[in-house]
């Protein structure tokens, strides 16, 4: 079951199932408990996590931690469209963070969009996850995400850039969970957000399988980043 | 804004150190922190400024709008400052409890007001050159500033960021043929810079001990004990462009004059840094302009309804500019950064069921391979973190 996009290649020479390279800086901010600056191609997101803060009023839940997500766009104020995306991200992070461990507390995840060149939601989920790890918030699993852009007849593209997203008929943001060293569970889909419609059932299920493999790559990248940062921490002598 | 979470001991220590003529971070009383400008390699007009630990992101966009009736031949420059909840715990807690408190909004609007004085009212940017067709179309330049990390002296950082991003900004080129206005996209014609007449640099001073002590560029700890603030904006021609002393402890006039001279020195230093950082970006083409033959331009605004179907035939061969890779751009000069990694991830198509791709990943981390570059991973901010500004 090999998959090939239509004969026309992508603008940056990637194949339809290839995702862009990553670049990440953990601990980018001083004051935030955890932070990260993530670049996926030209898409840049800065994520900050303030972890396990005092909960007051609406943020105080008796049985679990309250997760608050805030998306700040590069220009202007958070629009209604972004407020809906905030709710979607909250769903992913509420499932990911081990909220049952610390009730009556609050975790705030703030995402600053620096540049948007496609796959923004996925970049935000990945950046948010790295920031959570940087802050040391206990989580059930590592959440990773990949965006799929569907074409009417030619199939799909993974990790589309902005023009590719605009050309597509539908866009899906798929998030998968990974944990442990040798993780390859059969069912680890934790988030699926759809815009538009997909004609073919085959293409849809195929795209889910491919995006899962892409997310596995993201997971490996995240693990590498954390391992490297741990090595740095151990290497420093305390003043 | 609520009190920063600093202990009384820390605050007293900062004050006592100042009274002894030294500062908690080792600077002299008249020494400001190092500033670093990081321009975006992919987007004109986006810059991240680091002033010590304070980080500010600024982004400039341009839009074509109708001018106001009283100033038909001038464009607009608007500023927006966002004290993002990611900047400090205090801001996050405020954001969570009440959305946004009035003191935060007040502080943001004070910065906006100062920016307006600094850049608009001092004529640093020429709004007349932003006019396309008088009375019909002008450019509206919008500067969005986001404070990412509050490490003290946010005002200076915002001002520097605004100025740097305006200098870096490129707006689309416009041609007027008869009564038609053609706005070229960046692929057609290289975008052009804004007209900036001078570079006003803001320098802030903290006032301590009831007006006796003045220290330039206060950091977070010092801001918690300061009794007032003085901001002077000077340009390289020794001209004071903006001045702000809003309440706070009184200062002697001689002290103010001394601060003004000190501000001039700092302004020349920052101007040099800024120009150096900008010249590095000028060598790199952001939008590559390819040789082309254009039949009609992308957008046209016909002013006169009777003129129909005008097609401008441009035959131009623009110079081909080379595209420098991001890798070559961002050479790590920061100590404490081990290495950078960029991953090219791909799924192997040959195996249909087993996508055994972890081998690709492992092989790409070999130091022999050209493509492999390690990850920038820094330990969590605070202890053990090496300074990333030389």
Kindly determine whether residue A21 and residue B59, on different chains, have CB atoms separated by under 8 Å.
no
Both tokens of B374, joined, read 């390690």
Strand pairing of B137-149 and A66-72?
unpaired
ipTM over 0.90: no
Question: What's the angle, vertex CA B303, arms to CA B127 and CA B74, rounded to 5?
Answer: 10
Q: Which of B40, B93, B150 is closest, CB to CB, to A31? A: B150
> Which residues of A, range 125-154, sit inside 8 Å of B by Cβ?
134-136
> Which residues of B, range 66-85, sit inside 8 Å of A by Cβ?
80, 82, 84-85
**Mean pLDDT confidence for B126-138:** 89
Contacts of B346 in chain A (CB under 8 A): 14-15, 17-18
Kindly determine whether residue A70 and residue B80, on different chains, have CB atoms separated by under 8 Å.
no
CA distance B137 to B124: 22
Say if B361 is an interface residue toward chain A (CB within 8 Å): yes
CA distance A209 to B332: 37
Over residues B223-249, the pLDDT tens digits come to 999 999 999 999 888 899 999 998 888
**Mean pLDDT confidence for B318-323:** 32
Contacts of B374 in chain A (CB under 8 A): 228
Residue B230's DSSP bridge partners are B205
pLDDT at A169 over 90: no
Kindly determine whether residue A114 and residue B92, on different chains, have CB atoms separated by under 8 Å.
no
Q: Which fold has domain A22-233?
A: Ribosomal Protein S5; domain 2 (3.30.230)
pLDDT at B294 over 80: no
> What is the residue extent of each domain of chain B?
8-279, 327-385
Share of chain A above pLDDT 70, in %: 90
pLDDT at B296 over 80: no
Radius of gyration in angstroms for the set of CA atoms belonging to chain B, rounded to a whole number: 25
Buried residues in A200-229 as b, exposed as e (16+ CB within 10 A): eeebbebbbebbbbbbbbbbbbbebbbebb
First-residue to last-residue Cα distance in chain B = 32
CB pairs under 8 A between A and B: 186
Over residues A148-160, the pLDDT tens digits come to 999 877 788 999 9
The nearest CA of chain A is from the CA of B156 a distance in Å of 18
Kindly determine whether residue A214 and residue B345, on different chains, have CB atoms separated by under 8 Å.
yes
Query: Which pLDDT band, with edges at 50, 70 and 90, does A186 fall under?
Result: low
Over residues B25-82, the pLDDT tens digits come to 888 888 999 999 999 888 889 999 999 999 999 999 999 999 998 998 999 999 999 9
Buried residues in A16-49 as b, exposed as e (16+ CB within 10 A): bbbbbbbbbbbbbbbbbbbbbbbbbbbbbbbbbb
**Mean pLDDT confidence for B277-299:** 52
Task: Output the pTM of the full model.
Answer: 0.79
Say if A123 is an interface residue toward chain B (CB within 8 Å): no
Nearest to B169 by CA among B113, B135, B129: B129
Kindly determine whether residue B381 and residue A27, on different chains, have CB atoms separated by under 8 Å.
yes
Over residues B155-190, the pLDDT tens digits come to 999 999 999 999 999 999 888 887 778 888 877 888
pLDDT of residue B136: 86
pLDDT of residue A182: 61
pLDDT of residue B361: 38
pLDDT at B375 over 60: no
The number of CA neighbours under 13 Å toward the Cβ of A2 is 6
Query: Which pLDDT band, with edges at 50, 70 and 90, does B342 fall under?
Result: very low
> Which residues of B, range 305-334, sit inside 8 Å of A by Cβ?
326
**Mean pLDDT confidence for A7-29:** 83
Say if B217 is an interface residue toward chain A (CB within 8 Å): no
The nearest CA of chain B is from the CA of A8 a distance in Å of 18
B3: left (phi over 0), alpha (psi -120 to 50) or beta: beta
Q: How far is CA A207 from CA A42, A148, B27, in A?
A: 23, 7, 57
Kindly determine whether residue B380 and residue A28, on different chains, have CB atoms separated by under 8 Å.
no
Both tokens of B253, joined, read 């006039």
CA distance B384 to B136: 58
Kindly determine whether residue B93 and residue A221, on different chains, have CB atoms separated by under 8 Å.
no
Both tokens of B148, joined, read 């990412």
Kindly determine whether residue B96 and residue A236, on different chains, have CB atoms separated by under 8 Å.
no
pLDDT at A28 over 80: yes
Both tokens of B378, joined, read 């820094």
Higher-pLDDT residue of A188, B33: B33
Q: Which fold has domain B8-279?
A: Ribosomal Protein S5; domain 2 (3.30.230)
**Mean pLDDT confidence for A198-202:** 79
């Amino acid at each position: 079951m090999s998959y090939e996009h239509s004969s026309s290649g992508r603008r940056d020479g990637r194949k339809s199932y290839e995702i862009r390279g990553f670049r990440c800086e953990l601990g980018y901010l001083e004051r935030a408990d955890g932070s990260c600056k993530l670049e996926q191609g030209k898409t840049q997101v800065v994520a900050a996590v303030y972890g396990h803060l005092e909960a007051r009023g609406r943020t105080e839940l008796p049985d679990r931690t309250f997760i608050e997500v805030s998306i700040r766009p590069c220009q202007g104020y958070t629009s209604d469209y972004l407020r809906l995306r905030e709710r979607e991200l909250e769903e992913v992070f509420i499932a990911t963070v081990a909220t049952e461990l610390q009730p009556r507390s609050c975790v705030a995840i703030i995402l600053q969009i620096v540049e948007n060149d496609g796959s923004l939601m996925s970049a935000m989920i990945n950046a948010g996850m790295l920031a959570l790890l940087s802050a040391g918030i206990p989580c059930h699993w590592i959440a990773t995400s990949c965006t799929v852009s569907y074409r009417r007849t030619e199939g799909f593209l993974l990790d589309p850039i902005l023009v590719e997203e605009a050309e597509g008929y539908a866009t899906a943001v798929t998030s998968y969970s990974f944990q442990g060293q040798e993780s390859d569970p059969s069912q680890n889909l934790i988030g699926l957000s759809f815009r538009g419609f997909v004609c073919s059932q085959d293409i849809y299920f195929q795209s889910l399988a491919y995006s899962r493999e892409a997310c596995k790559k993201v997971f490996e990248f995240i693990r590498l980043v954390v391992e490297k940062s741990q090595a740095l921490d151990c290497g420093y002598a305390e003043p | 804004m609520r009190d920063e979470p600093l202990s009384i001991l820390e605050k007293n220590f900062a004050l006592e150190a100042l009274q002894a003529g030294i500062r908690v971070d080792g600077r002299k009383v008249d020494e400001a922190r190092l500033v670093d400008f990081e321009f975006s390699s992919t987007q004109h007009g986006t810059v991240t400024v680091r002033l010590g630990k304070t980080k500010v992101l600024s982004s400039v966009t341009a839009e074509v709008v109708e001018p106001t009736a009283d100033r038909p031949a001038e464009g607009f420059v608007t500023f927006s400052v966002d004290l993002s909840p990611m900047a400090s715990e205090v801001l996050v807690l405020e954001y969570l409890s009440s959305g946004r408190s009035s003191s935060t909004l007040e502080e943001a609007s004070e910065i906006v007001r100062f920016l307006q004085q600094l850049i608009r009212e001092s004529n640093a940017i020429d709004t007349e050159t932003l006019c396309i067709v008088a009375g019909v179309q002008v450019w509206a330049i919008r500067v969005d500033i986001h404070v990412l990390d509050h490490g003290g002296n946010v005002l200076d950082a915002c001002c520097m960021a605004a100025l740097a991003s305006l200098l870096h900004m490129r707006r689309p080129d416009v041609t007027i043929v008869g009564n038609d206005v053609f706005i070229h996209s960046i692929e057609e014609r290289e975008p052009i810079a804004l007209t900036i007449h001078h570079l006003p640099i803001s320098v802030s001073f903290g006032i301590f001990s009831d007006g006796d002590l003045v220290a330039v560029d206060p950091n977070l700890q010092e801001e918690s004990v300061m009794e007032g603030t003085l901001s002077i904006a000077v340009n390289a021609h020794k001209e004071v462009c903006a001045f702000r002393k809003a309440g706070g402890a009184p200062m002697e006039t001689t002290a103010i004059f001394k601060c003004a001279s000190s501000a001039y020195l700092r302004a020349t230093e920052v101007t040099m840094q800024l120009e150096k950082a900008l010249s590095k970006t000028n060598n790199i083409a952001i939008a590559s302009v390819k040789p082309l033959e254009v039949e009609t331009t992308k957008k046209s605004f016909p002013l006169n309804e009777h003129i129909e179907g005008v097609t401008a035939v441009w035959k131009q061969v623009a110079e081909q500019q080379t595209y420098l890779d991001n890798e070559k751009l961002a050479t790590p000069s920061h100590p404490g950064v081990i290495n950078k990694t960029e991953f090219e991830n791909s799924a192997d198509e040959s195996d249909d069921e087993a996508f055994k791709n972890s081998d690709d990943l492992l092989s790409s981390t070999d130091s022999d391979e050209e493509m492999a570059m390690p990850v920038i991973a820094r330990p969590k901010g605070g202890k053990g973190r090496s300074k990333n500004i030389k």
